[in-house]
């Protein structure tokens, strides 16, 4: 039987580097190594966000190009990337209501604290019991929040992707239009900013 997370990762394009983490996380889950599964799944999640940010051609709304390039440089540093991606997700706008870089609200940001604390429990052998339910719950969180974690939100992201494609930026990359089309039902499924 195919797990829901396996269906999810087969429906959406993810960076190859991130895919190795989730594939290992699924393997660990299937053999009952839930702490390892959770850590690998968490790394998958952060890697997806990292690559989306690094590959974005536009700075988020209200962020200068210089500031955005600095953030991208920090996320490229192998020593601190995990913390910098987490900080990027958790950075609040000036009104302390939404994320500064993504179209997520304060309650979603607060949820990130729980998932990170659970990751720390797994990584540092805390006495917290970690079961299949923790991993499955995290996977559900990932499935619900990843579509929202695109620079400037899904609607703006999709419009820019299509504009770039039709401006011939991706003319010699026929797979790009397939990636864009493949993302539409997924983005719509979660009713993001449409």
For 125-170, the pLDDT digits (tens) are 888 899 999 999 999 999 999 988 888 665 666 676 677 666 665 5
- When the pLDDT of each residue in the chain is averaged and rounded to a whole number, the result is 86
Q: Are 169 and 30 spatial neighbours (Cβ–Cβ below 8 Å)?
A: no
Q: Cβ distance 168 to 177 under 8 Å?
A: no
Spatial contact of 143 and 4, defined as CB atoms under 8 Å apart: yes
User: 8-47: per-residue pLDDT in tens?
Assistant: 999 888 999 999 999 999 999 999 999 999 999 999 999 9
* DSSP state at residue 57: S
pLDDT at 191: 46
In this structure, of 41-55, 92-106, 180-194, the range with the lowest mean pLDDT score is 180-194
- pLDDT, residue 190, reads 46
Residue pLDDT, tens place only, 42-57: 999 999 999 999 988 7
């Amino acid at each position: 039987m195919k797990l829901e997370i396996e269906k999810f990762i087969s429906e959406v394009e993810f960076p190859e580097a991130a895919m190795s983490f989730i594939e290992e996380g699924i393997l660990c889950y299937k053999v009952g190594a839930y702490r390892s599964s959770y850590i690998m799944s968490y790394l998958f999640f952060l890697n997806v966000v990292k690559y989306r940010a690094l590959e974005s051609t536009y700075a988020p709304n209200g962020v200068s190009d210089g500031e955005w390039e600095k953030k991208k440089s920090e996320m490229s540093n192998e020593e601190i990337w995990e913390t910098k991606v987490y900080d990027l997700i958790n950075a609040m706008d000036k009104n302390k209501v939404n994320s500064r870089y993504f179209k997520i609200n304060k309650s979603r940001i607060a949820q990130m604290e729980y998932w990170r604390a659970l990751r720390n429990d797994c990584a540092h052998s805390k006495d917290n019991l970690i079961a299949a339910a923790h991993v499955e719950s995290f996977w559900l969180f990932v499935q619900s929040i990843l579509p929202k974690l695109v620079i400037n939100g899904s609607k703006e992201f999709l419009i820019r992707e299509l504009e770039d494609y039709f401006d011939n930026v991706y003319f010699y990359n026929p797979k790009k239009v397939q990636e864009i089309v493949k993302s539409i039902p997924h983005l719509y499924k979660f009713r993001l900013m449409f």
